[in-house]
Copies of this chain bind each other. A is one copy, B any other.
Amino acid sequence: MPLDSDQKREVEALRAERFETRRATVPALEEVLYEPSPVLDHGFSRVIDYMGDDAAIVQAARVSYGRGTRKITEDRGLIRYLMRHRHTTPFEMCEIKFHIKLPIFVARQWIRHRTANVNEYSARYSILDREFYIPAPEHLAAQASNNRQGRGDVLEGEEAARVMSLLREDSERAYDHYAEMLNEGEDGAPLDENRTGLARELARMNLSLNFYTQWYWKVDLHNLLHFLSLRADPHAQYEIRVYADAMLETVKRWVPLACEAFTDYRMGGVSLSAAGLDVVRKKLAGEPVDQASSGLSAREWRELMESLGQPSE
């Protein structure tokens, strides 16, 4: 369960308040503000704050004195134009702040996106909770045989059961020993009066990478979309993709026009190389072309044919 009862109360208190503002406001996003969306077994994504809306993108592109909006159709056209031609700076004018709870191995992938502001819960300063990620049985994937960085079929039967119990038992034991080394009860009093307790900054190293951490993550819309284009992609690891999927839903509420343009031009699109474009042109012109004559490697040819909905040979 992502939130305990104290945390729920705090979130409810925040959600109950209303303020008056002159700032651009997005009712669809306000609806879910502060509310956690569950992700994985103990994680969540929730929006803490935001700045700007679709009109703010237009307003910045025009460096205007008033609200960006003229007509919704004009705004939509301009936003699509900006997205299509990779005029990225107006999208940087919207900002959003998330509170994310996520397994440490996911956090390690995530943090590679450097153009964001982060405040992480400190295990040097505080004690982590007994919360770790165990994959659902349908996500217990084997190593892909054809691709060193990917998943194959789902493990089954005895092997699945064995993996599950190893992951669970090792995590429980790691936490038991973490708590024992800390020698500190919830009230801060020692568990065992005869022991001193290991420094928190050292004890944490006994925890495994599936333990949950949490952070505030603030990012502008352009960099968020870049993150989503990589992490909501089918090639991303499942455990980060589910966060990206949840955040994409948030973006849809927040800036529906920018989100639509992003989905059309980035998510569902493809990039053709010069040689790939040449293949398409020849095919459309009815000229013969095959992998050998195309200048593409076998792998590139296969990828291209797949994306064009054509047979690979």
Contacts and interface: CB of A to CB of B under 8 A. Distances in A.
Interface of A: 3, 6-7, 10-11, 13-15, 17-25, 30, 33-34, 48-52, 56, 59-61, 63-67, 77, 80, 84, 86, 89-90, 92-93, 95, 97, 99, 103-105, 107-108, 111-112, 114-115, 117-122, 124-126, 133, 135, 140-144, 148-153, 155, 159, 163, 166-167, 170, 173-174, 177, 180-182, 184, 195-202, 204-210, 214-216, 218, 220, 230, 237, 263-265, 267-277, 280-281, 283-285, 297, 300, 307-310
A271 B280 contact: no
Given A49-B51, A140-B198, A20 B23 contact: no
A148 B120 CA distance: 16
B218 A93 contact: yes
Nearest to A107: B108
A170 B23 CA distance: 42
A125 to B, nearest CB: 5
Contacts of A49: 23-24, 51-52, 56
Contacts of A264: 273-275
B89 A119 contact: yes
Contact of A23 (B33, B210, B284, B297): B33
A141 B174 contact: no
Contact of A30 (B11, B21, B300): B21
Given A202-B135, A209-B209, A166 B170 contact: no
Given A15-B22, A135-B202, A152-B199, 6 more contacts: A14-B66, A19-B21, A140-B198, A143-B184, A174-B174, A264-B274
A310 B284 CA distance: 8
A20 B19 contact: yes
* Most B CB within 10 A of own CB, among A86, A119, A126, A204: A119
Contacts of A111: 108, 111-112
Contact of A198 (B163, B271, B283, B309): B163
Contacts of A95: 51, 95, 218
Interchain residue pairs A-B with the least CB separation, the first 4: A268-B274, A10-B66, A19-B25, A92-B117
Contact of A309 (B209, B215, B281): B281
Given A177-B166, A209-B104, A119 B61 contact: yes
A233 B79 CA distance: 22
Contacts of A184: 143
Nearest to A276: B269
Given A51-B97, A195-B159, A202-B135, A20 B20 contact: yes
A161 to B, nearest CB: 12
Given A22-B34, A63-B121, A209 B204 contact: yes
A77, A143, A159, A307 pick with most chain B CB within 10 angstroms: A143
16 contacts: A21-B21, A23-B50, A49-B52, A49-B56, A63-B119, A92-B117, A92-B218, A112-B120, A170-B174, A173-B173, A201-B237, A206-B209, A209-B209, A265-B271, A281-B308, A284-B284
